[in-house]
Amino acid sequence: MEIDQILNSLEDQLSLKTKQINSISGGDINQAFKIQCEDGSKFFVKANIRGIKGMFEAEAKGLELLSAQFGEVITPRVLGFSDWFLALEYLNGDPFSDASWAELGEKLAVLHLNFSNRFGLEFSNFIGSNPQPNRWSDNWGEFFYLDRLMFQVENLGSDSLKDLLESKRDKIIELLSEHHPKPSLVHGDLWSGNIHLCSGCTYLIDPAIYYADREVDLAMSELFGGFPSIFYQSYFELFPKCSGYEKRKNIYNLYHILNHASLFGGAYQGQSIQMLNDI
Residues noted as catalytic: 189
| C-beta atoms surrounding 100 within 10 Å | 19
- Cβ–Cβ < 8 Å for 191, 47: no
Q: Taking the CA of residue 274 as centre, how many other CA atoms within 13 Å lie in the half-sphere pointing to its CB? A: 6
**What backbone phi and psi angles, to 5 degrees, belong to 47?**
-130, 145
Which DSSP letter does residue 91 get? -
Q: Tell me, what amino acid is at 253?
A: N
Nearest CA-CA partner of 45 in 79, 5, 93, 94: 79
Nearest CA-CA partner of 81 in 118, 46, 123, 32: 46
Which DSSP letter does residue 77 get? P
| C-beta atoms surrounding 236 within 10 Å | 13
Q: Is the dihedral of CA 117, 123, 127, 128 positive or negative?
A: negative
Could you tell me the maximum CA-CA distance found in the chain, to the nearest angstrom?
A: 60
Nearest CA-CA partner of 48 in 92, 10, 93, 12: 10
DSSP for 191-247, written as a single string: SGGGEEEETTEEEE-S---EEE-THHHHHHHHHTS---HHHHHHHHHHSPPPTTHHH
| C-beta atoms surrounding 253 within 10 Å | 18
